[in-house]
Structure 1
Amino acid sequence: MIRIIAVLCRLASPTDCHEQIVTTSDFADVTMQSCLMGAPQLAEWMAQHPGERLAAWRCTIGSRVDGRGA
């Protein structure tokens, strides 16, 4: 499973940023290549969260978010 971890900043406070896993079961077909290119699903997710700006994202493999995999 590929997980997309986004760095999101609030539009009202641009220095207030946080990381959030944006991967859901809808992302089951995300490949590492499509993730690195900015998975189209990420744009859909951002459209549902208009109060935040995407500052960056990273792709990880497995269920853990610390980069060590499952």
Structure 2
Amino acid sequence: MIKIIAVLCSLASPTNCHEQIVTTSDFAEVSLQSCLMGAPQLADWMNQHPTERLAAWRCVIGQQVRRGI
């Protein structure tokens, strides 16, 4: 399974950022190519979270590897 890990920043406090897995069971199976291109599902997910800004994303196959921000 490919997971999309997003770096999200608060619009109210732009330096307040965190990582979050944005792929869920609601998403169709995400291909690596789709993930690398930004996955249309990511835009839909962001529309549902208007208080955050997408700063970056990465694609992870299998287990999530947590990175410091």
Question: TM-score of the superposition, structure 2-length normalised?
Answer: 0.90
Q: Bigger CA drift: 21-30 or 44-53?
A: 21-30
Gaps of 5+ in 2: none
Report the alpha carbon displacement of residue 29 of structure 1 after superposing the two structures with TM: 1.7
Q: Secondary structure of 2:41's match? A: helix
Question: TM-score of the superposition, structure 1-length normalised?
Answer: 0.89
Question: In percent, how many aligned pairs have the same letter?
Answer: 79
Gaps of 5+ in 1: none
Q: Secondary structure of 1:13's match? A: coil
The alignment of Structure 1 onto Structure 2 pairs a total of residues equal to 66
Whole-angstrom CA distance in 2 between matches of 1:5 and 1:19: 7
Q: Secondary structure of 2:14's match? A: strand
Q: Quick one: which amino acid aligns to residue 5 of structure 1? A: I
Q: Quick one: which amino acid aligns to residue 47 of structure 2? A: A
Counterparts of 1:28-67 in structure 2, within 5 Å, are: 28-62=28-62, 64-66=63-65
Q: Quick one: which amino acid aligns to residue 66 of structure 1? A: V
Q: Which runs of 4+ in 1 moved over 6 A?
A: none
Whole-angstrom CA distance in 2 between matches of 1:8 and 1:18: 5
